[in-house]
Amino acid sequence: MQNPENLQVWKKSHQLTLEVYRATDAPWFPRRFSLINQLQSSVLSIESNIVEGATRGGKPEFLRFLRYALSSGCELHTQLLVAKDLSYLPFEQFQRMDSQLDEVRKMLWGLMVAVSDSLGKGRRF
């Protein structure tokens, strides 16, 4: 496998991680640690799973960890909605992060299709 940090999806997910961490560190974001921890954990899990899967040494493992990354992206979407609906995140900031997340999830899906197709198993994920 190539260096996972060269993958566009990793780069985009890393930028999203930085944005979520900055938003949850802002003085106006309520110090409710469970939501902060969940947001930070979910976003960090996306890029971490990409790296872990890419360095495991095989396409089946990579595909499995890409699924985990995608699942973490779904969790993050829900948590961003909660933060927006509770007015912890300004709507514009929510929109920007959710748009970035949507792009990452689409890229993950595309990579999953490519890896699955290269295994000759069709799209079984």
Q: Which of 4-8, 12-16, 103-107 has the lowest mean pLDDT?
A: 4-8
Q: Note whether residue 125 is domain-resident.
A: no
Report the percent of the chain where pLDDT is more than 90: 79
Q: How many domains does the chain have?
A: 1
C-alpha triplet 114, 118, 122: angle, nearest 5°: 80
The Cα 33–Cα 38 span in angstroms is 8
Contacts of 114 (CB under 8 A, 6+ apart): none
Q: Note whether residue 58 is domain-resident.
A: yes
**What digits encode the pLDDT tens for the residues 27-70?**
888 887 799 999 999 999 999 999 999 998 889 999 999 999 99
For position 33, which CATH number holds? 1.20.1440.60
pLDDT at residue 125 tops 60: no
Q: Average model confidence (pLDDT) for the chain?
A: 92
Q: Note whether residue 123 is domain-resident.
A: no
Residue 102 pLDDT: 98
What tokens does 20 get?
């979520």
The Cα 38–Cα 96 span in angstroms is 19
The Cα 50–Cα 111 span in angstroms is 10
Quote the domain boundaries for residue 100. Answer: 4-118
Torsion, Cα 18 62 98 15, to 10 degrees, reads: 20
Evaluate whether 98 touches 122 at the Cβ level (below 8 Å). Answer: no
Whole-prediction pTM: 0.90
What tokens does 53 get?
């899967």
More confident residue, 4 or 65: 65
